[in-house]
Amino acid sequence: MSDRTSNDESRSLSVRDRRFCIRYPFAADVVVLNLETGSRTDGVTCDLSLGGIFVCTSKPLASNTRVRVTLTKKDQKLEALGMVRIVKPRIGMGIEFLDLEPPHHGLLCRWIEQLSKVR
């Protein structure tokens, strides 16, 4: 019996097809620190999910760059390690969360819960 899933099929999947978390519109100030060079990029989120964020910035980092992100919304701060997964020149970058410490993961879950009630 042949396997219907081939490597060619998985390579042709777009980013949209690979998303596994619901994205919600969300605005927060963001500081992205490039862990390789130490450079800093500022921006604003336009969406948020349990898996990551999209940062609107005119100076996105290169794909696969490891970063530390700090989101600030009112008096709340969320910090996470992440990786740039998609780059849209002069528009921004999608960052996947790789690691969140328990207090930051709790804050992310609270934000998502509040956003899901609004929908």
Please write the tens of the pLDDT for every residue from 95-104: 999 999 999 9
Please write the tens of the pLDDT for every residue from 19-67: 578 999 999 999 999 999 999 999 999 999 999 999 999 999 999 999 9
In-domain check, residue 3: no
Q: How many domains does the chain have?
A: 1
Tell me the residue range of the domain where 30 lies.
22-118
In-domain check, residue 6: no
In-domain check, residue 89: yes
In-domain check, residue 2: no
* CATH assignment of the domain containing 81: 2.40.10.220
In-domain check, residue 5: no
Q: Which of 115, 118, 59 is nearest to 90 (CA)?
A: 59
* pLDDT at residue 13 greater than cutoff 60: no
Residues with Cβ within 8 Å of residue 110, at least 6 apart in sequence: none
In-domain check, residue 1: no
In-domain check, residue 105: yes
Type of residue numbered 87: V
